Amino acid sequence: MSSELIQLLEREAHVERDRALEEAHRQAEEIRAAGQREAEEILASTHQRLEEERRQAATRAGSAASLRAAALLLEAKDRAIQQVFEQAAAEIARAGDDPARRRALLHHLLEEAAQGIDTRGATLEVPPGDAEAAADAARALNLAVEIRENPEIRGGLRLTTADHRIVVENTVGSRLNRTRSTLVSRIAAILWGDQPGVR
């Protein structure tokens, strides 16, 4: 599933990268051109004794344009990355509508959640409508758990030991949130690679 998600993210990321960079470059060029025009007007209207002042004004205008262009580029990148996450969440939601994929996902999430803990008498909470799939997964994994449907659980499960000392929430959303910072770095690398000045 993670390779499918990565492939999906890569495809979506490439499209968003091109759009974001094109818009950022266009805006940067407009800002640079405006800064250049301002510098030329200052040059034409100043006398020789104000030459140093003119250069300072041109430098300030160029710096302001560079700062604004950098801010616009960062804003465009942030929007592109956010759109990738939104599209991934929508794709995950669509995948959750497929009963076979949901069953397989539930089995995988339960197998992971149960690793290393005593599940005898544990409680397994799943989204409404997934109790039967959860029972099948528990039987396949030889787990003796009490299964409850809980509308607060979405896209996964919560496994609580009988003594309530260990609670494992293993949902697609929680996994995505836990790996978000790593994924942001990977998405940025896919979108912008090793371009100088691009982070």
What does the DSSP assignment read for 75-136? HHHHHHHHHHHHHHHHHHHHHHT-HHHHHHHHHHHHHHHHTTS--TTEEEEE-TT-HHHHHH
Residue 45 pLDDT > 70 = no
Quick one: 117 and 43 in the same domain?
no
Domain closes at, from 47, 68, 97: 97
Quick one: 87 and 20 in the same domain?
yes
Domain presence at residue 170: no
Quick one: 79 and 142 in the same domain?
no
Domain of 90, in residue numbers = 2-97
Domains in the chain: how many in total? 2
Domain closes at, from 97, 130, 153: 97
pTM: predicted TM-score of the whole model, two decimal places: 0.54
What distance in Å separates the CA atoms of residue 133 and residue 74, rounded to the nearest whole number?
44
Quick one: 24 and 89 in the same domain?
yes
What distance in Å separates the CA atoms of residue 42 and residue 54, rounded to the nearest whole number?
6
Quick one: 25 and 68 in the same domain?
yes
Quick one: 14 and 82 in the same domain?
yes
Quick one: 125 and 42 in the same domain?
no
Quick one: 114 and 155 in the same domain?
yes
Average pLDDT over residues 27-52: 69
Quick one: 80 and 11 in the same domain?
yes
* C-alpha atoms less than 13 angstroms from C-alpha of 166 in its C-beta half-sphere: 15
More confident residue, 145 or 10: 145
Quick one: 48 and 129 in the same domain?
no
Residue 18 pLDDT > 60 = yes
- Model pLDDT for residues 122-163, shown as the tens digit of each residue: 999 999 999 999 999 999 999 999 999 999 998 899 999 999
The mean predicted confidence, pLDDT, of the chain is 81
Quick one: 103 and 91 in the same domain?
no
Quick one: 87 and 111 in the same domain?
no
